[in-house]
Amino acid sequence: MRQRKRLLYIGNKLAVHGKPPAGIDSLSVKLEAEGYTVITASSKRNKIFRMLDMVFSTIRYRNRVELVLIDTYSTQNFYYAVIVAMLCRLFKLPYIPILHGGNLPNRLKNSKGLSNKLFGKALSNVAPSKYMMHQFKDAGFHNIIYIPNAIEIKNYPFHLRQSITPKLLWVRSFSEIYNPLLALEVLEMLKIKGIDASLCMVGPDKDGTLTRCKKIASELKLPIRFTGMLQKKEWIVFSKDFDIFINTTNFDNMPVSVMEAMALGLPVISTNVGGMPFLIEDEVDGILVAPNNTEVFVKATEDLCDNPLKAQELAKNARTKMEGFDWGEVKHNWIKLLDT
């Protein structure tokens, strides 16, 4: 295999501490397998120490790498991207932000000066969703390329359900922006209607929302199982026990958990926010509903349970779509960008 460029990859590499894998955890390994030398920063647990490690790594390796990749988010972690990019410009080191934050379009408006420098002076910006690409183009950024999040399709066995019951699965970090409380409200309304429904919620707590959800579930005596974080292999096996995947978020980009559900054959009901309409075609490979609307979520759930053939068709179409997001296909876009 030919020796390719030496890269520094900046991001929150926290899977080693039991956190959900981020872009840096998966993409760095895939790029190494393609012949790139990849140095990563940072896996420091403390946020301040992590930022310092990112800064020192950029300074330390500035003459040993040819390009810097920066996982870029929309909240507090936006600022490490700003600082690292500033250092890259100082050292005349080309850098590429990878646009993960679902709320980055608002960041473009609220931090215009910082955004113009961070994104405008980048070698290129990688948008994992067409939604994000369009948002950046509309804001005047043209140094942007669409490279979707990738999965390895062989790791996702397709399971076509012959019947659909309201056994709901939710997989995400417990954070207010992902609106997990809506999942509880959907389950509660289904129970009020006399429907034998259940819910499993998989993921770690991020901002105290998990504690709140557990408290409400206990008070309302809702049949909910909270598993905490599961390794990917665990929840893939676990998913066979459920019939519908629900995504309740208020902000989103291109969530890998939804892509994985689509690959596995779980019919998906999702809010139609952010990048979701670019990932799911409503009534073709999933169901899109308005955010923060319990009634339409319940109606969509009932509709799938009453129409198993429709659910099967959605699942088959979703699997076909996800095969186009396999790393074997997506990697060529990365290689073309990085080798330019």
The 10s digit of each residue's pLDDT in 187-217 is 999 999 999 999 999 999 999 999 999 999 9
pLDDT averaged over every residue in the chain: 96
The confidence score (pLDDT) of residue 102 equals 86
What confidence tier does 1 reach under pLDDT thresholds 50, 70, 90?
A: low
Taking residues 110-139, report their average pLDDT. 97
Q: Which long-range CB contacts under 8 A does 136-144 form with residues at least 24 apart? A: 136/99, 136/108, 139/105, 139/108, 139/109, 139/115, 143/119
What confidence tier does 28 reach under pLDDT thresholds 50, 70, 90?
A: very high
pLDDT above 80 (res 11) = yes
Return d(Cα 2, Cα 146) in angstroms, integer. Answer: 25
pLDDT per residue as tens digits for the range 128-180: 999 999 999 999 999 999 999 999 999 999 999 999 999 999 999 999 999 99
The confidence score (pLDDT) of residue 48 equals 95
DSSP H stretches of helix in 62-208? 78-90, 104-110, 112-120, 130-138, 180-192
b/e burial code for range 254-276 (CB count within 10 A of at least 16 → b): bbbbbbbbbbbbbbbbbbebbbb
Q: Which long-range CB contacts under 8 A does 328-337 form with residues at least 24 apart? A: 329/150, 330/147, 330/148, 330/150, 331/30, 331/34, 331/150, 333/145, 333/147, 334/27, 334/31, 334/34, 334/147, 335/4, 335/34, 337/96, 337/124, 337/126, 337/145, 337/147
What confidence tier does 43 reach under pLDDT thresholds 50, 70, 90?
A: very high
Cβ atoms within 10 A of the Cβ of 279, count?
30
For residues 235 and 264, the model is more confident at 264
Residue 7: closest CA among 99, 74, 71: 71
Report the percentage of the chain scoring pLDDT > 90.
93
What confidence tier does 2 reach under pLDDT thresholds 50, 70, 90?
A: low
Residues 6 or more apart from 81 whose CB is under 8 A from it?
10, 70, 71, 72, 73, 97, 118
The confidence score (pLDDT) of residue 101 equals 86
What confidence tier does 313 reach under pLDDT thresholds 50, 70, 90?
A: very high
Half-sphere exposure of 305 (CA within 13 A, CB side): 17
The confidence score (pLDDT) of residue 162 equals 95
Q: Give the domains, in start order, of the chain with CATH numbers.
A: 6-150+327-338 (3.40.50.2000), 153-323 (3.40.50.2000)
Taking residues 55-80, report their average pLDDT. 96
